[in-house]
Chain A
């Protein structure tokens, strides 16, 4: 059974245009009170096609999370341009709240609403943001909970669930908004080893159903199996990218070679 409902294609939509266009994006953070700064992203350009699954890897501090977070505007950018499904997200007239419903985000630490039950976690954004009727929102939520594999925990609070279960609810919460694409920032890094595979399977299923995905992960097996393309970042730059098999078997850059040696 599919997790997502097949989206109706807008006949006017140009399906050749990429889902995401990142053009010369830079992001600087000032640290210790503005005395120094780090370039978390240096002139990054890239594209993500419709239905494409891109896995972003790289050493700690290389800017992976920052890149992902700029895609739904959680992080602003200093220079460059980002266009998502034809919408320039840097334009003053773009409604970021609407954009964020179209770009779902899954976090390393789940970030379920602690003051809401599982069901409410999924219902609330639908009623508040999409103005769905409560009954409809509950139906959507129950269907999603069933499909992510925890139909019987709807009245539990997040703290009563295991990490893996919480992450499933978080994925369901994002999917309830019917996003055009999904961002995963180390979605399995905080999980116990035995619950990792379940969440990864869920992500694989999403990928098979044609969801456009940008995934930051340390799971190289997942990258090899699911990714259409791997992007390797270091020090705020995209150093190398390519098909997973080619990238993992014979990385071209020194930095990617060194990184892969370290983690394997």
Chain B
């Protein structure tokens, strides 16, 4: 009983800080997910077009960002780029967080969108073009709506990875959930394990619905032979 009271006091005194951290984690991850998804969708479409130079550039970007740890990316964007002495590359920590996380998200979204577009049978585009639709009309009315459904399950898994990656932002001084937890541990070193447990629970509470949704969406897409009516 005494243990519970003791821990309850820890929770009670830390919860404003942890909640603030969770809120910041939520904001940073949501903004990055939205910006990254928009950028990634555009780049994913570019990757399926015939323009060879933009396609190669996007391909290089995807390999670069997917092939390196996010921690290294944030270091480069926050610590290395400013030393180049270019004004618009001097980010404050919040901007650096959003920029790096959006680029990281977009690199995955690009790959997902590209493969989803390629998964739509060729005949769909051929039929649309045969009716006289332009490439853009065929994409907009026929191909993207079908590809979009295929992106939902993998997209949700990527979003979970992005949310968890925000923990890395503590290294550039963003007081998101992990950073708040670490600060709390400095104040209450006796409860290190318990505080990490609290942090883990909060991440889980944020990510779990997303994982559930991914699973549900996947079963939906499978049940309809790749053409879910979501």
Interface residues of A (CB under 8 A from B): 72, 74, 97-101, 104-105, 107, 109, 111-116, 124-125, 128-130, 159, 170, 173-174, 177
Contacts and interface: CB of A to CB of B under 8 A. Distances in A.
A52 B38 CA distance: 51
A96 B145 CA distance: 24
A100 B130 CA distance: 5
B123 A125 contact: no
B interface bracket (residues with beta carbon within 8 Å of A) = 20 to 34
Given A114-B146, A129-B137, A72 B131 contact: no
Contacts of A98: 132
Given A124-B141, A128-B141, A129-B137, A112 B127 contact: yes
Interface of B: 121, 123-124, 126-134, 137, 141-142, 145-146, 224-225, 227
Contacts, number: 65
B132 A113 contact: no
A105 B125 CA distance: 13
Contacts of A130: 132
B80 to A, nearest CB: 39
Contacts of A159: 224-225, 227
B145 A125 contact: no
Contact of A100 (B129, B142, B224): B129
A101 B133 CA distance: 9
11 contacts: A72-B130, A74-B126, A74-B129, A74-B130, A97-B132, A97-B133, A104-B130, A107-B123, A114-B146, A115-B227, A173-B127
B194 to A, nearest CB: 51
Contacts of B126: 74, 107, 111
Contact of A125 (B132, B224, B225, B227): B132
Contacts of A129: 131-133, 137
Q: Most chain-A CB neighbours within 10 Å: which of B124, B126, B127?
A: B127
B145 A177 contact: no
Q: Most chain-B CB neighbours within 10 Å: which of A111, A115, A130, A177?
A: A115
A115 B144 CA distance: 10
Nearest to B147: A115
Contact of A101 (B124, B132, B137, B142): B132
Contacts of A124: 141
Nearest to A109: B123
